[in-house]
Amino acid sequence: MTFKNLRAVTIFGFADCPPGDPLYRETVEVTRMIAEGGLEVVNGGGPGVMRAATEGAHEGGGVASVATFYPKFIENFEGKDPQNKADKEIIMNNYVDRTMKLLELGDAYVVFNGGTGTLSEFGMAWGLAYLYFGHHKPLILYGGFWYPIVEALVKNMRIGDRPGALRVYKIATTPEQVMQYLQEFDLEMPPRQEIKDDLSGEKAFME
C-alpha cells in the first residue's frame, strides 16, 4: 500500500488505558498497520493509547513522533510516559500548544475511545476539518460506539445544518477498515499545499 499525499497520522485516545485493556491492543494493531503502510505515527507522548501507538508503529517497522509538554501545576494531566519510547519528541509550552502541534503534525487523525482530553481533541479536529473543508484533514473515529455519539450530536445540535461537517470523518471498526479509509482519503485529497494556521500562527500542511 502506497500513499501519495498522506505522510503522518495522529492518534488520539485514553491515557489511562493499561496494556492489558482491549483498547490498548486495538491501538497497537491499528498503528502497526499504519506504519507498515509507510506512514509516520504521531501521538501525545503519554501512557495508554499514546504509548500503544508508539509500540504499534515500532512493531510495524515505522517511526513514532510525539508532541509533549512538562506542566508544573496540572494535577490531572498524565505527562510524558518514560515507556513511550518515540523516535522524536517535540516539547511545547502548554497543553493547548501541544494539542495544536498534534493537529499540525498529522495529515489525518484516528480517534479512539478516551476521556475529556480525547473529547477536546476530537472537537478541535472536527471543527478545523469543517472550517478548511475541501482542504481539510480527515478523521477516522475508531469503534462502533461512535455511531450513537455522532447521531446524538447531530440530533441535538445544529451540526446537521452544515452538511460539510458530516463529510470529513468516517467510522471504522477494524484495523483493515482504517487502512481502507486512509487509502480513500489519500486518493480524494488534492495536492498538498501550505496554508497559514490562524490558531498557531505557524505554517502547517493541510490537504
Give me the pLDDT at residue 203, please: 44
* Interior/surface letters 74-108, b for 16+ CB within 10 angstroms, e for the rest: eeeebebbeebebeeebebeeeeebbbbbbbbbbb
Distance CA(157)–CA(164), nearest Å, equals 15
Q: What is the pLDDT of residue 111?
A: 98
Q: How far is CA 154 from CA 88, 119, 132, 158, in A?
A: 38, 16, 20, 7
State the pLDDT at residue 195.
Answer: 40
Q: What is the CATH number of domain 8-206?
A: 3.40.50.450
* Residue 30 to residue 41: CA distance in whole angstroms: 10
Residue-level pLDDT at 204: 40
- Helix 22-36 vs helix 49-59: angle between axes, to the nearest 10 degrees? 40
Residues sharing a CB contact under 8 Å with residue 131, sequence separation 6 or more, in sequence order: none
Provide the residue ranges of all domains of the chain, joining segments of one domain with +: 8-206
What pLDDT is attached to residue 77? 65
Residues 6+ apart with CB under 8 A from 42: 8, 9, 10, 11, 64, 65, 66, 67, 102, 105, 106
pTM: 0.89
- Measured distance CA(200)–CA(206) in Å, rounded: 13
Give the CA-trace dihedral at 109, 113, 118, 122, to 10 degrees. Answer: 50
State the 10-residue block means of pLDDT for the chain, 207 residues long. 92 95 98 98 96 98 95 69 94 92 97 96 94 91 97 89 86 97 89 49 41
